[in-house]
Structure 1
Amino acid sequence: MLMKTLAAGTAALALAGPAAAETLKLAHWVPPQHTLTASTVEPLVNGVSEATGGELTIDVYPGGELGAGPLEQYVRVVQGVADIVWGLQGYTSSQFPRTMIAELPGVVTEDRPGYEAIWDAIDAGFLMEEYPQTRPLALWTSEPNIFIMKDHEIRSPADVEGLKIRVSGAVAGDIIEALGGIPVQMPAGEMYNALDTGLIDGIVTGASAVGDFRLDEVANSYTLNAPLGRITFYLVMNQGVYDGLPAEMQAAIDANSGRVLSESAETGWYAANDRVLESIAATGDNAIVELTDEEAAAFAELTLPVTDAVVAELGADDILAAMQGE
């Protein structure tokens, strides 16, 4: 009887064969030519497919195909509209106040990558409560923010006073207010028209956005080296969907996400930054202001206290220390 039972079990396993193929949906809201594709999406998609012999594939839905409106990205993955989504913490700042410490001036420096700062804070036991029902696949920061202006040259904090400046989230908004400007929060896809029509006077974001959103067509002045912080990004997966995958597929996702994917993403943002700065300099018809150390210090006197105030308000000295490798 025992032998018959074992034989039946073996036959059932044979009929079941290997784990069934799975397809995941990855949604984002920018066009396929955006920096996101080569730096983040393709390494994940190709790496997972290769690791599973094509048994786990990821279909990509760019440009808001699974739902317009970048502010709703996190909701989409939680509700199962998509299995994986990309977004900016700043678009729903109240959900990610501790992660967004990495956006503050002086927290991430040139000698320590932003993705390392965020993952070190996670490994120290912080931040995960800000990502309920999801599994972060990549967390990283942009290159340093710059001023991207139309018909205004920014050389001192006084030049910012009274100007309407687009920001991506609450942190950047606090910085602009500290400089005497008027922060206007809007998704990146709206920046072009807002700058073109005069709804805003300028933008604070990384230079990579100039290429990704064709801002060079409407901006004509760029100010570099002001301590304006950075932008944070996430790529997250529905935790329930991850838990439902076979172990070998989970392992493939793990091997192609986390710090390794975050590093690829951040490296891509920096590479785009370098290309854009070279391009806008080559045109010869843009004002490019590279602040001296002394000029940058005048901005720092106003922006660095914002960092101190936000960290103090959150009671997050331990998170700041973790992000700075202390």
Structure 2
Amino acid sequence: MLHRILKSAAAPVVAAAIAFPGLAGAETLKFAHFVPPAHTITEAIVDPLVTGTAEATGGSLEIQVYPGGELGPGPVEQYVRAVTGVADIVWGLAGYTSAQFPLSMIVELPGVVDGNGDGYEKIWRAYDEHLTGEFPGTRPLALWTSEPNVLIMKDKEIRAPADMAGLKIRVSGAVPGRVMEALGATPVQMPANEMYNALQTGLIDGILTGASAIRDFKLNEVSSVYIEGASLGNILFYVVLNEEKYQSLPDAEKAAIDANSGLALSKSGEETWNRNAQSMMDELKADPAKTVITLSADEAAAFNAVTLGIRDTVIDELEGQGLPAKAVLAAMLGE
């Protein structure tokens, strides 16, 4: 699976690292991502990782950050950059290469994450026993999920599944694509940095993603209606480090990375995503030019009657492919 991704893969440095002047022989790791520095990723992941490792090593380990695709355009190619050593550390979305992460992306299914910010715990519960094979050549430093997905519409109000019929909705990967298909919409997969223009020009009618993306990608400039309250799943994010690079580091620097990654860094990611999402929704609700539809219990139930059934369907399909999907789901749910 990965070899197909690798075959398709294709400045100035913005230093987000803490510098310790005069320290000779400092190791520098390159951290690449594809969004501007003001994106949620900086507050949630980059800053605590950069600061924590630098302080823990007295500056012998430095992380320099290359935002906005400076080490190569195309967010779809992020994982490949880490494997091939173009970057040492990358941030990406599992959905961009969905075929690589069929078991990990179970956490994206409606009804798996309950919306209370426990997605990172669920993915890590399943990681050691079931998911390591989906991260070849790398060491995950953080795995977490976004806030619950919402519908971000150019101008159409959505109150029932029937309102979705025939609409073109941008999705981040295969799992949200299944959700949209079940609701009668046509999923359109594209990287996040293409959403603005696609919505503005009418190429798509709406977007399924977390509310934090509204501010991160300025989607409020090209959308006017927002729908929350249905179980529409979440998005899985990863930050990974090239495994060979990790193994080449001195023990003290490995220990610094270990101490500033894993569950704690993943929690920071998820909590920040959720906090920024709530702030964005509050801002939209206070804007008289915007329409925020919070589905009633009955309205949400009509959506959930469709979307929650997708979980069992996908699990059965994966089992039919010989993958231990039921065991992964049970591990995620702590069963």
Q: Same fold (TM over 0.5)?
A: yes
Q: Does 1:92 align with 2:93?
A: no
Count of matched residue pairs: 308
Name the aligned partner's letter for residue 333 of structure 2. Q
User: Which residue matches 1:251?
Assistant: 255
Is 1:312 paired with 2:316? yes
Q: Is residue 2:54 matched to residue 1:45?
A: no
Name the CA distance, whole Å, in 2 between partners of 1:187 and 1:122.
26
SS state at 1:126 partner? helix
Q: What do the CA deviations read for 1:253-289 (whole angstroms, capped 9, x no partner)?
A: 0000000000000011011101101111121111111
| Cα-Cα RMSD | 1.1
Distance of 2:217 and 2:117 partners within structure 1: 27
Q: SS of the residue aligned with 1:151?
A: coil
Q: Which residue of 1 aligns with 2:331?
A: 322
Q: Which runs of 4+ in 1 moved over 4 A?
A: none
Write the mapping of 1:223-262 to structure 2, written as runs, cut at 5 A. 223-262=227-266
Deviates more, 1:104-113 or 1:48-57: 104-113
Q: One-letter code of the match for 1:77? A: A
Separation in 2, partners of 1:110, 1:213: 22
- The equivalent of 1:188 in structure 2 is 192
Residue correspondence of structure 1 range 1-326 to structure 2 within 5 A: 20-111=25-116, 113-123=118-128, 125-315=129-319, 316-326=325-335
**In 2, distance between residues paired with 1:277 and 1:152?**
18
Unaligned runs of 5+ in 2: 1-22, 320-324
Deviations 1:150-203 (A, max 9, x none): 110010000000000000000000000000000000000000000000000000
Deviations 1:35-73 (A, max 9, x none): 000110010000000000001000000000000000000
Could you tell me how far apart the structure 1 residues matched to 2:50 and 2:146 are?
A: 22
Equivalents in 2 of 1:258, 1:264: separation in Å? Answer: 10
Letter matched to residue 267 of structure 1? E
Contact 2:117-2:274 within 8 A present in 1 as well: no
SS at match of 1:283: coil
Checking the alignment, whether the CA contact within 8 Å between 2:115 and 2:147 is kept in structure 1 is no
3-state SS of 1:299 partner: helix
How many Å separate the matches in 1 of 2:25 and 2:217?
40
CA distance in 2, matches of 1:283, 1:160: 25
- C-alpha separation in 2, matches of 1:110 and 1:164: 25
TM-score (ref. length: structure 1)? 0.93
- Compare CA radii of gyration and give the structure with the larger one: 1
Whole-Å separation in 2 of the counterparts to 1:126 and 1:166: 30
- Which whole-Å CA distance do the structure 1 matches of 2:286 and 2:293 have between them? 14
Task: For 2:299 and 2:189, locate their aligned partners in 1 and report how far apart those are by CA, in whole Å.
Answer: 26
SS of 1:33's equivalent in the other structure is coil
Which stretches in structure 1 are left out of the alignment for 5+ residues? Answer: 1-17
Which residue pairs with 2:8 in the alignment? none
Structure 2 SS opposite 1:153: coil
**Once the 2 structures are TM-superposed, how far is the Cα of residue 112 of structure 1 from its aligned partner?**
5.9
- Following TM superposition, by how much is the alpha carbon of 1:110 offset from its aligned partner in structure 2, in angstroms? 3.1
Counterpart residue type for residue 94 of structure 1: A
Q: Which amino acid is 2:160 matched to?
A: S
Contact 2:107 / 2:123 at 8 angstroms: preserved in 1? yes
Contact 2:170 2:206 in 1 (8 A): yes
CA distance in 1, matches of 2:284, 2:192: 19
**CA deviation after TM superposition for structure 1 residue 313, in Å:** 1.2
Aligned-residue identity in percent: 61
Once the 2 structures are TM-superposed, how far is the Cα of residue 111 of structure 1 from its aligned partner?
4.4
Task: Report how far residue 300 of structure 1 moved.
Answer: 1.1
Cα distance in structure 1, aligned partners of 2:243 and 2:24: 19
Question: For the residues of structure 2 that align with 1:227 and 1:32, how far apart are their CA atoms?
Answer: 31
Alignment check: 8 A CA contact 1:136 1:237 kept: yes
In structure 2, what is the equivalent of residue 13 of structure 1? Answer: none
Deviations 1:108-140 (A, max 9, x none): 1134600000000114x0111000000000000
CA offset at residue 312 of structure 1? 1.1
Asked if the contact 2:107/2:122 (under 8 Å) is kept, the reply is yes
Shift of 1:87: 0.2
Conserved 8 A contact 2:35-2:68 = yes
For 1:278, give the aligned amino acid.
D
